[in-house]
Amino acid sequence: MGQVKLLSTYAELFGRHGLLCAQVLVTKEDFRDRQHYLNMRNCFQELLQRKVIPIVNENDVIAVTELMFTDNDELAGLIAAQARRRCLGNPDQRGRDF
């Protein structure tokens, strides 16, 4: 329930500015397997070319406990490295952007 409401809120807020967003669910395995990694990178590139903002979150439904991200900072760091960016927006639970 939380993810649906969160993405709906993002869609509404971005929509006010004429922007679209899309949820992208990933697991740590997506960064370990070369083909998954390349597919994910291509997905992000395609979304950004179409001016769609990817909202990235861990896919908790299929993530194995040992392979879960320690926190959103770890996930943001991997995404930033993949996108060759020095920083990304990473709102915390209180809606602040770091």
Looking at the chain, the whole-number percentage of residues with pLDDT higher than 90 is 31
Q: Helix 34-49 and helix 72-83: axis angle, to 10°?
A: 80
Average pLDDT in the 17-36 region? 89
pLDDT at residue 21 in the model: 95
**Selected residue with higher pLDDT from 70 and 14:** 14
27 or 22, which is more confident? 22
CA distance 95 to 93: 6
The reported pTM is: 0.71
pLDDT at residue 98 in the model: 39
pLDDT for position 28: 83
Judged by DSSP in three states, 21 sits in strand
Rounded Cα distance between 94 and 97, Å, is: 9
Q: For the chain, what is the mean pLDDT?
A: 80
